[in-house]
Amino acid sequence: MIRTYSVKRDGDGKVSKHFRVREFASKDGADKVLIDDDLVTLLENIREAAGGKAITINSGYRSPEHNAAVGGVSNSQHVKGTAADIVVEDTDPLTVGQIAEHYLNKKGGIGVYQTFTHVDTRTTRSRWDQRSGKQVVVSGWPGWKEDDMDISKLTDDQILELANRLTEVLGKQPPSDWSEDSRQWAEDEGYIKGDENGDKQYKAWVTREQMAVFMQRLAKRL
């Protein structure tokens, strides 16, 4: 979904964990900003794949006036709010293009330039190389896969985010049949009560905090 924002009203507001509205604003000072949700998701994916390195948006949304002033085509993805020219800290434009290729696959636009990478979320597919100063159409930017991510370079926040996500996924798995009698007993006795929504999350990990609560409940019954 493409959303409409105001720099004055929403400029400091976050559109995701790492990006704010004003980062996508048109460089001519226009108050209106269009931002595609899918574009934001793509940028977050690229950031995570690059090891959490900061992304600078050189050009996000462009007002029609600014787009014309910089020589952009009238149907530019920037005018639609679906494009961003980005620089990833300590990462060359080609690598950024290869990461984007992994996530966009058969759709979207990726252009590799000498100092930045263009990405957009158009429904069709377009790939080009502009590093020589002339636009050359290419078939794609293969060469990166998720296995290339160096886990040792993840930040503490990223590791916690992954752990929380894994716990969430495990918690949604149905319990095994062999534990049915024991589970029912534990629930009837009040040893297992579930979270604030009543979800028992039987396949999720048990932390020492949770174990302490279980032990306390058991001790009170003895």
Please, what is the average pLDDT of the chain? 91
Asked whether residue 77 falls in the same domain as residue 182, the answer is no
How remote is the C-alpha of 88 from its chain's centroid? 14
Model confidence at 64: pLDDT above 60 = yes
- Residues 113-172 have pLDDT tens digits of 999 999 999 999 999 999 999 999 999 998 877 665 566 767 888 888 888 888 888 888
| Secondary structure class of 181 (helix, strand, coil) | helix
Task: Please choose, from the candidates 28, 24, 27, 30, the residue with its C-alpha nearest in 3D space to the C-alpha of residue 12.
Answer: 24
Asked whether residue 173 falls in the same domain as residue 80, the answer is no
- The dihedral built from the CA positions of residue 111, 50, 25 and 77, taken in this order, carries a sign that is positive
Asked whether residue 134 falls in the same domain as residue 186, the answer is no
30 Cβ neighbours under 8 A, 6+ residues apart? 7, 63, 65, 66
Residues in the chain: 222
How are beta strands 108-112 and 117-120 bridged, if at all? antiparallel
* Total count of domains within the chain: 2
| Secondary structure class of 59 (helix, strand, coil) | strand
Model confidence at 176: pLDDT above 80 = yes
Model confidence at 108: pLDDT above 60 = yes
pLDDT at 205: 84
Asked whether residue 198 falls in the same domain as residue 162, the answer is yes
Q: Which helix (H) or strand (E) holds 84?
A: strand 83-88
Asked whether residue 176 falls in the same domain as residue 162, the answer is yes
Q: Last residue of a domain, which of 98, 116, 149? A: 149
pLDDT tier at 104, thresholds 50, 70, 90: very high
Q: Which of 5-14, 38-47, 91-100, 143-152 has the lowest mean pLDDT?
A: 143-152
Contact (Cβ atoms closer than 8 angstroms) between residue 62 and residue 37? no
Which ranges of the chain would DSSP assign to H, the alpha helix?
7-10, 37-49, 64-69, 77-80, 93-104, 156-171, 180-188, 208-221
Residue 140 CB burial class (10 angstroms; 0-12, 13-18, ≥19): middle
As a whole number, mean pLDDT of residues 33-42 equals: 97
- Which residue type is seen at 54? A
Asked whether residue 28 falls in the same domain as residue 100, the answer is yes
Asked whether residue 123 falls in the same domain as residue 23, the answer is yes
pLDDT at 75: 92
Q: Last residue of a domain, which of 131, 149, 167? A: 149
pLDDT at 167: 83
How far is it, in rounded angstroms, from Cα 102 to Cα 100? 5
Asked whether residue 161 falls in the same domain as residue 144, the answer is no
- Which residue type is seen at 205? W
As a whole number, mean pLDDT of residues 17-44 equals: 97
Q: Last residue of a domain, which of 96, 123, 149? A: 149
pLDDT at 121: 97
Asked whether residue 26 falls in the same domain as residue 91, the answer is yes
pLDDT at 171: 82
Asked whether residue 19 falls in the same domain as residue 109, the answer is yes
Asked whether residue 88 falls in the same domain as residue 180, the answer is no
Pull the structure tokens for residue 83: 């494009």
Task: Please choose, from the candidates 135, 162, 139, 136, the residue with its C-alpha nearest in 3D space to the C-alpha of residue 151.
Answer: 162
pLDDT tier at 189, thresholds 50, 70, 90: confident
* pLDDT greater at residue 88 or residue 169: 88
The CATH number that applies at residue 131 is 3.30.1380.10
Asked whether residue 133 falls in the same domain as residue 190, the answer is no
pLDDT at 172: 83
Model confidence at 68: pLDDT above 60 = yes
Give residue 136's domain range.
Answer: 2-149
Task: Match 């793509």 to its residue by tokens.
Answer: 42
Contact (Cβ atoms closer than 8 angstroms) between residue 51 and residue 96? no
pLDDT at 150: 65
pLDDT at 133: 92
